[in-house]
Each structure stands twice: as structure tokens, then as C-alpha cells.
A and B are shown apart, each in its own frame.
Chain A
Amino acid sequence: MNGFLAVYRRELLSLWVTPLAWVLLTVFLLLQGAIFYSIITHFASMSEASVDTGPLQAYFGQESIFLLMTLLLVCPALTMRVFAEERRSGTIETLLTAPVTPASVVLGKYSALLTTYALIWAPTLLYVVVLRKTGVVDWGVVGASYLGLLGIGAAYLSLGTLMSAMTKSQLVALLLTIFVEFGSFILGVGEYIFEPGVFRDICAHVSMMSQMEDFSKGILDLRRVVFDGSVTLLGLFVTTRVVDSWRWG
């Protein structure tokens, strides 16, 4: 696990001393700010508020399509370089000839990405603080919503890490990740398109929008958590196998 910590710290340093994380943070916060502002003005103009909805539920739930769109932008950009860059520059050779296992390399890098993802979300906690000034905030809803976002991020970052390990080109990694993640997002939209049946159930099961809608109501659906977790673990497992396979290239 020594290797894990070393890789984790280096990856985190690399993410934050290069402009990438800062650019993503800025773009992300600008977009979130715009979404949040429009939701707030919308609620402010409403004459009477209903009981089961509020700006927070709208932000994390009903209107989560905007929020997920920004994730489809941010997550692939965050993961594209993680392995592709090391393979292009050759540093992967020094990394893999150190006494570390492929699993600790993959986990170290992935954990750094997940930490960065969490750090990028952290400033949005201010929105909750802002809302608290004017009304009551249901902390259960806030907690569940962030848990939902963490689950989606974990799955997206895992898939992105895998795509980055599949190619030496950051651009190809970016495009592949967008393709896969946007594809899964579109599959989720199928829930609103198809007739009731098995296919619609599948779409509903993988839908990130439905997940956020449930979580924003404070409903912690274990199936959602298991789904996110399985995608994450599968992605990391395959990535480890891919890294291992480079020895035989």
C-alpha cells in the first residue's frame, strides 16, 4: 500500500499544479452558478411554493439534467490524461518498474481523481449555506444528493480511467469516454421514451437522472448504490488487467 499512497500523492500534485484541475474547477463552478441562479430566480418568482419541492430538490433532482451535462464535460476531461499521458511520455516505464503492483497504481490514480472530483464539488456547499439564510434546509436531502453525485462521479471516473488506459492519445481517451458516458446517459433517457416493459426497466435502472431524482428526495435506493459501485469496480478491475497486459505487448 506504500505504492498506493505515493501514486495518490503524485497524481493529486500533478492534477493541481497543472492548469487542468483549475480550468475544470472554474468552468464547472461557472456552469453550476448559472444553473443554480436560474433555479433560484425561478423559485423566487413563484407565488406559492409546494411542500415537496424546493430549490435544492430542483437543483439536485428534477433539473439534474443540467448538472449531469456538466459532469459529462468535466469527468472525461479529468480522466483523459491519467494513463494516456504516462504512456505517451514513457514515464509509465519508470512507474511500473518500481516495486508496485498494477492494482495499487490504478487505485492510487483513481483515488486522486475521485478526491479532485470531490474538491471540485466542495464549493457548491455554499449554495446550501445561501439557502439556509432564507429557509429551512433538509440536511438529509443534502447528504443524499451529494452521495448520489459521488456515486455517479465514481462510476464516470472509473470508466474514464479505463478509456485512458486503452489508448496512448489523450484526445482518443476523451472522445471514447464521452462516447461511453453520454451513451449511458442517453440510455437513461430511454425511460421516458419506451413503452412499459423490460427495456424501459433497464433504462430506468441505469438512468443517472432518475438516480438524482430519487436521491434528491432523500430516498437512498440501495439498487442505485449497488449499480454505481458495480460499474466503478468493474471499470477499475478491467483497468488493472489492461495495465497488467502491457507487460505482454
Chain B
Amino acid sequence: MRWIWIDKFIEFQPGVRAKAIKNVSLAEEHLHDHYPGYPNMPNSLITEGIAQTGGVLVGETTQFTKRVVLAKIPKVSFYRPVVAGETLTYTVEIEMLMDEGAMVSATSQVDGELQAELEMVYAYLGDEHVNPNLFQPQDFLLHLRQLGLFDRLPNLEELGWNDWPGLQSAEEVSWKNGKHHAS
């Protein structure tokens, strides 16, 4: 199973803003260790979910041709604990895009109440790094579909996604005619 810490994108404005939600449930085992008798969602995993939301937002700006990694969290504040039954809404906005990476600002909210505020810096991995692919294209595509990203994107052609090198091969392997052939 993939390390996925968001459930669904609910808004996606390419190059501008992404919103995703995360439902917190007692069925999640990690809550029982954090902490016994007082289960609450670890802030580290909230940070991971926000980083994933922003990572897709940043990655989309280059049609996922660059490998985006979270490099630094210059600022972070948490204001309240999150317990089972609550839904977190992560909002990430791009502050700046550069050749080397991107900076974003982000919030986490529960029912409109501010739960966390962050700044994040993403860097693009250079060619000198060993593993050329962070994901297999078809796995990544499946992952984005599961998160409902395509329901939030009105027009793939307009975004230049049809030119995304990974998309075609991924489509051929897994999604042609709605059939899933990926191994």
C-alpha cells in the first residue's frame, strides 16, 4: 500500500491552489498508538498530507516531468489537536515557482477553524540522483485518479497534459478503454 495521507482533492487550480481533504478515523491504527486513551492525528502526518497536496500542485506545473521533493519547512504552527471523526481540509497555494523548485504556503482547517499554518519549500531532484523515477507512470496516474484529481481538472488538453511524456504510456498500460491492465 502506498503512503497516501490525503483522501481526495476537492479543488485544483493549476499553478495556483489545491485543496484536499483527509478524514480521520478510529479505524486508522496509528491513532491508537498516538496516544492510548487519547487518539489524535499526529501533526507529522498532517504535514505529510499537506506536502502531498502541494507536491502534486507543484509537479503539475511541469506536467510531472520534474521530480518534486519536499526540501524544507521554514515555518509551521499547529493550533489544535485533531481527533477521530473530524475532516481536515488542506489548502496549498503556490507563492513562487523557480527553475530549482517552488515555495508554497498552506493551511489545515477543521470545519473552517484554523488548525495549522505552514510554509514549504520543494526542490527538483537533479539528474545526478540515482533513481530516475520516483514513481512508475501508471502507478502515479492511478494514484492521481484515486485522489479525484481528474474530476477537479476541467480540461486536460488546455493544460498541455496530452504532451506529458508519461501520460500516454501510462494510459496505454492501464487505462485504455477503461480497462486496467497494469500488473
The yes or no verdict on A and B being binding partners is no
Chain A residues engaging chain B, CB cutoff 8 angstroms: none
